[in-house]
Amino acid sequence: MNGKSLGLRPFSRQESILKTTKLNLADAILPALIVSIALVAGAIEPRFLSVDNFMNLARQLVPLLIISIGQAFTIMRGGLDLSMSSVLSLAGVAGVILMPEIGIAAGVAVMLLVGAISGLASGVIIAWFRTSPLVVTLGMLSVTQALALMLSNGVPIYDVPAPYVDSIGFGTFAGLPIMVWMALILAIVAALVLRHTIFGRYVYALGSSESAAAKSGVNVRLYTILVYGVSGLCAGIGAIVLTAWVSSAQPIAAPSLTLQSIAAVVLGGVALTGGRGTIWQVFLGVLVLSLLSNVMNITGVSAYFQTLIVGIVIIIAVILDRFRRT
C-alpha cells in the first residue's frame, strides 16, 4: 500500500492551501485595518481628512519609518537593536554641537558617522564574542545615552543653523516635505538591497539558519557586523531628520522610538525569529502606528491612553507573528 492509495498527497495539498490562505489573511489584516481607521477617524473628526493633516501625518511617520528600516535588518538577521534611540540622540548631539565649527554638511556627516560607528561596534561585539544582541545593544543603549548626556551637559541644544532647519525640517520638493523624500528614498534603497543584492540574500539566510549559512560559506561575522552598521546608519539618518524637525538636539530624544520600531516591524509581518519580511511590510506597520497616534492626537485622547494603546498594539504584533508562523 503506497502513499497515493492512502490519499496522503491530496491531504498535503489541502494542508498547503490552508496554510497559504492563512498567510494571505494575516497579510490582508493591516491594509484592512488602515482603511478602517481612516474611515472611522474621518467620520468622527472631519479634520483628519484634510490635506494639512495628511502632510502632518507624513512628517510624523518619517522618524519611525527610518528607525524601523534599520530595526528590520537586525530582526530579519535574527537579532534586534535596543540602542537605536540613544544612538540617534548621540548622533544628533554630536552633529549639532559641531555644526557651528565645521559647517552644516560636515555636521550631517558626523551624525551619519557616529550612528554607523555605534552600530558597527555593537555588531563587532555580537559577531566576535557570540553574545546576545539583546544584552549587547542594551549595554550600547546605556553607553551612547551617557555620552549624549555628557556632551550636552544634560540639556537640549537649540543652537541649530536656520538653513539646516528650513531645508530638511520644513523644506518641500514637488509638494512633499524633504524629510518625507529622505525616508522614501531610504525605503526604496533598503528594499532593493534586500531583494537584489548578495548582502540582502545573506541577511535572510542568517536569519533563517545561521549554522546552515555558515556551512554554505557565508562569512557570518562580517555580515552580522554589516547588519548592525546599517542599523546604526539608519539611527544617524533619523538624527538628521529629527534634529531639523524639532530645531534642537535632545540628549534623550524619542526614547520610545526603539520599542515602537520593533512593534512596527513585527506588526507589519516581519518574522520576529528572522529570515522573512519586506520593507513594504515595515511601512505598513509604521503607517498603522503613526495613524493611530495621529487619530488620537487630533481627537484629544489622553497621552496615558495613547501609551496603553501602543502597548496593546505591541502585544497584538507578537500574536500576529505567532499566527503567521503556525
pLDDT tens, 245-273? 999 999 998 888 998 999 899 888 888 88
Q: What is the pLDDT of residue 14?
A: 53
pLDDT tens, 170-229? 999 998 999 999 999 999 999 999 999 999 999 999 999 999 999 999 999 999 999 999
Provide mean pLDDT across the span 275-298: 91
Q: For cell 548626556, what's the residue?
A: 149
> Mean pLDDT in the chain?
88
Q: What is the pLDDT of residue 24?
A: 54
Confidence of residue 298 (pLDDT cuts 50, 70, 90): confident
E-assigned strand segments in the chain = 172-173, 176-177
Confidence of residue 6 (pLDDT cuts 50, 70, 90): very low
Q: What is the pLDDT of residue 47?
A: 86
- Which is higher by pLDDT, 123 or 326? 123
Q: What is the pLDDT of residue 2?
A: 46
Q: How far is CA 53 from CA 50, 58, 215, 221, in A?
A: 5, 9, 52, 45
Q: What is the pLDDT of residue 188?
A: 97
Confidence of residue 40 (pLDDT cuts 50, 70, 90): confident
Q: Which of 118-127, 142-151, 268-277 has the lowest mean pLDDT?
A: 268-277
Contact present, 86 and 231 (Cβ < 8 Å):
no
Q: What is the pLDDT of residue 11?
A: 42
pLDDT tens, 47-77? 888 888 889 899 999 999 999 999 999 999 9
pLDDT surpasses 50 at 3? no
Q: What is the pLDDT of residue 45?
A: 83
Q: What is the pLDDT of residue 307?
A: 79
Q: Which of 18-32, 69-83, 228-242 has the lowest mean pLDDT?
A: 18-32
CA nearest to 228, candidates 96, 72, 2, 45: 72
Q: What is the pLDDT of residue 312?
A: 83
CA nearest to 287, candidates 269, 311, 308: 269
Provide mean pLDDT across the span 134-146: 96
Q: What is the pLDDT of residue 5?
A: 42
Distance CA 191, CA 235 (A): 17
Q: What is the pLDDT of residue 326?
A: 63
pLDDT surpasses 80 at 26? no
Q: What is the pLDDT of residue 13?
A: 56
pLDDT surpasses 70 at 15? no
Burial class of residue 238 (count of CB atoms within 10 Å of its CB; 0-12, 13-18, 19+): buried
Distance CA 311, CA 197 (A): 35
